[in-house]
Chains A and B, each alone.
Chain A
Amino acid sequence: MKRARVAYAGQVYEATPHDAGLKLADGRVVAESDVVWLPPVANVGTIFALGLNYADHAKELAFSKAPEEPLVFLKGPNTLLGHKGVTRMPADVNQMHYECELTVVIGKTARKVKRADAYDYVAGYTVANDYALREYLENYYRPNLRVKNRDGCTPIGPWLTDAADVADPMNLKLQTTVNGKVTQSGSTKDMIFDVPFLIEYLSSFMTLSPGDLILTGTPEGTVYLNSGDVIVTEVEGLGALENTVLRDDDYYGKAQ
């Protein structure tokens, strides 16, 4: 089952896909154009993200060898944004790129979980676009928060798909388009540290809780964006997440 969270006519609803748009939890069918999409997980806990978790992307960023331990960083809830949202591109930034990522939603408390049992702790999956602004990269706790923890820099959704409906999360195609043109394609099978490994690794030193998210990294094919670009990040079977980037003048309005 796929579920979204949307705002419609003054309330937030759980919604499911429908031929004519979206079906709200109360039975009403509404047009997609009439809702505001919210992040599909209501009570998000700790947000983990992975850097350099696809060998080809690590190579693209000029890292000569794959990491021996996962490169994990954390994100605050200020970063999340729903489907069809708008993300700010600061005036002084020319090197902003998307990152299409399979995202794991933890379903139950996990502590010292073994790899073989790891999938039992997954509630479902969604798609994230973990933007990076490379001008702000510094070599202290890299990727530093100014690059990765900005307000609205992590669109997520549109759907939360139940784990039971995803036969093999480690064999899903990933694709990104910019203004309709394919710029990134890959497969989750090329992850360096796969989902069971990540759950085992993280839960070996910290307790994971329902609502925690793991953004599992991105393959090669990231390109720099321009103001007004429409970016669609898609993971096979999970949905296509759309976002628009706007430079300061357009984002805030020229008055500021």
Chain B
Amino acid sequence: MSALGTVYGVILNVQGALEALGDAVNTAPYKAPPKAPVLYIKPANTFLPGGGPVGAPDGVEELEVQPTLGLVFGRTASRVSEADALDYVSGFLPVIDVTVPHASVYRPAIRQRCRDGFLPYGAVAAPTRGAVDVRVQINGQDAGGFSTGDLVRPIARLIADVTDFITLSPGDVLLVGLGVGSPRAKIGDQVTATLSGVGDVSCTIVPEAQIEERAA
């Protein structure tokens, strides 16, 4: 497993995700639909290379487990045009973006999204052409996902919009979006993200205290 640089993700980038918020986008606190990509960062403490146990904090019954595709950058990307954008991507990464479920996206969800081990990821694969089918199974049952053919900002456009103000360095990763709906896993569940033509990654949900005991 290669070490990752900075990992950026984007919400509301799969068709239907914004619509699922309904009229709320026009009322407080949002007041208007988003204009720029709605980005977040998954910091280094969340990295779980190869997958494995993910800790649910005390009092949290279920974790949201969103499968997604990570674009791994092979060279420095700054103010990249949409036409050239894909030239900067050297790998595709299967990822499960884990969060403590939260309804509001008004404030950055650091406490929910950035807990230790909340980003299981698999092996980097060569980029493929055409849409990638991104699915998650919980205990073997399909629990959601999306196709990269259904992105609001397709991959090239997303890269152009992000690198307009953020320089991405080799090893940095951009997660392309999260599906509509909220796949949830509880303690003991086995979660696998499968990306067509890319690969997969799995994690199991355990009590957070169990992971701390192991680390101690």
Contact = CB atoms under 8 A, between A and B. Distances in A.
A8 B11 CA distance: 43
B116 A141 contact: no
A209 B169 CA distance: 21
Interface stretch (B40-48, B141-149, B197-205): B40-48
Nearest to B208: A205
Interface residues of A, number: 31
B38 interface: yes
B166 A149 contact: yes
Given A146-B165, A149-B166, A141 B43 contact: no
Interface string A74-97: 111110000000000000000000
Interface in A188-217: 205-209
Interface stretch (B63-71, B106-114, B131-139, B177-185): B106-114
A76 B36 contact: no
Contacts of B159: none
Contacts of B41: 74-76, 145, 149
Interface in A45-87: 45-46, 48, 69, 71-78
B29 interface: yes
Contacts of A45: 43-44
Given A144-B39, A149-B39, A150-B166, A73 B116 contact: no
B108 A72 contact: yes
Interface string A137-179: 0111111111001110000000000000000000000000000
A136 B43 contact: no
B81 interface: no
Given A78-B167, A138-B35, A151 B107 contact: no
Contacts of A146: 36, 39, 165
Contact of B116 (A143, A144, A151, A206): A206
Interface of A: 45-46, 48, 69, 71-78, 111, 136, 138-146, 149-151, 205-209
